[in-house]
Structure formats: structure tokens, C-alpha cells
Copies of this chain bind each other. A is one copy, B any other.
């Protein structure tokens, strides 16, 4: 047990890069974000962050405006040339000019120091929530089918052939989400966010339980919820093996 996995070793965890020349601030931000389940890498300069980003992208970037080398603004501009990664700018000043410049250059949010670590975490969460909302939004077809299942959204029914399955609310939401993402691997994190909601404090293992109960009811439906080892689940049409 000599090695800690730098926090949570969850494949679904969002990766965040932080650049700030103040080591204390970096540490605080890192600690808070990690305790919230994010995977964080921090850099003393924006240039280093940029360099790292180019070799490996992340899910969100937090940039201090004033740093040695390239300023946060410059790094932001540079990032935007190749990526749409969400960016949060930090600044000591609170001038409207800075404000407009930051958001104008393509950052998603702009926080002035001093700020509470908690509020930063909230902002981060808000951005990820927005992204998840959008990914969830993708079309709302009245009837989706996967294998031998049919989703009847208005009726809040999922039909096995012609007979509606008897599902509990959680089961229904979960299966619905899987059907809307059939054949795609869905991480436990994602399920938790989409089905249970965001603020909810539930163990990721809860998904396993619901999936387990669902599998029993789905027996011989032409579909299967298979496990994606170390990641989550995937709904697939199995030709129907008895």
C-alpha cells in the first residue's frame, strides 16, 4: 500500500488542470477539488499547463490570469485554438475590462480573488452539470427501441414486445438512459449524475444494485446490460440467446 492513486482512482472521474503561480492557492484548489472526486493536476505556470494539455487533454481548465510567462488570457486564447474545453479564469482584479476580456476570449467563467474554495467547487460542478444536461438533451424521440424493448416515454412505459415491464422509478430512469445510449459504454459516474441527479450523495455501487434488479426483469428480452470492466455498463442487443 505504498502508493496512493493520487486520490480517487475512478475511470469516470473528470480530470482538471490548474495553473497558478501561488503554490498555496494551487494546493487549496487541488485539495478541495480532489475531495469532491475530481482528478487534479496543478502547474506553476500557464505554459506548463498548456504543454501538458497538448499531450493529454483534460475536462476542465482553471487559469490564474497573472502568472510568469504567458498570462492566463494568452493561455486561454491558445487553448481555444484547438479545444472547446471549459475554462475558468481566476483574477485578483475585478475590473470590468478584465471581466469582459476573459469571457470574451472564450472562458466559461471568471472568478475574482479572494474566493472561497467552496464557491469554486460549485462553479466547477455547475459547468459539468450544464455539459451533462446538454449531452442528455440529444433529441427526445417519442419511441426508442433497442433489441426487443420499446421506450414509450409519454406513457412512462418500457414495453417488452407488447407487454409493459413492471419497473420502479429508478429502474425506469436507468433503463431509459441506457436505451437512449444503446451500444454505448456508460460510466457509473454518468449514470449517477443523469439518473440520480447531481447533489445526491450516493455510492456509485448503487448503480450496480439497480442494474442487477433490472437484469432480472430483462431476462430474455433480446437485450443485455453488460458490464464494462472498470468503467460502467453498456446496453447491447443480444441476438436472443436462451
Using a CB–CB cutoff of 8 Å, the interface residues on chain A facing chain B are 2-3, 5-6, 11, 39, 41, 52, 55-56, 80, 84, 86, 96, 99-100, 103-104, 106-109, 116, 118-119, 122-123, 125-127, 129-131, 133-138, 154-157, 168-169, 183-185, 190, 193-194, 197-202, 228-231, 234
**A112 CB, nearest partner CB in chain B, Å:** 11
Bound CA–CA A88/B201 (angstroms)? 25
Asked if residues B155 and A126 are in contact (CB atoms below 8 Å), the reply is: no
Chain B's closest residue to A154 (CB) is B184
**A63 CB, nearest partner CB in chain B, Å:** 15
- Residue from the list B100, B135, B155 in contact with A183, Cβ < 8 A: B155
Interface of A is mostly: mixed
Asked if residues A126 and B103 are in contact (CB atoms below 8 Å), the reply is: yes
Asked if residues A99 and B126 are in contact (CB atoms below 8 Å), the reply is: no
Asked if residues A6 and B155 are in contact (CB atoms below 8 Å), the reply is: no
- Residue from the list B56, B122, B131, B228 in contact with A104, Cβ < 8 A: B122
Instruction: Apart from A3-B106, A103-B123, list 18 A-B contacts with CB within 8 A.
Output: A6-B198, A6-B199, A55-B190, A55-B194, A56-B193, A84-B133, A86-B130, A96-B119, A99-B116, A99-B118, A99-B122, A103-B122, A108-B130, A134-B135, A135-B138, A157-B185, A168-B229, A169-B230
A-B contact pairs, 23 of them (CB 8 A): A3-B80, A3-B200, A3-B202, A6-B197, A11-B169, A39-B197, A41-B199, A84-B136, A99-B116, A100-B119, A100-B122, A103-B122, A104-B199, A107-B126, A108-B130, A109-B126, A130-B130, A134-B138, A135-B138, A155-B183, A156-B184, A156-B231, A168-B229
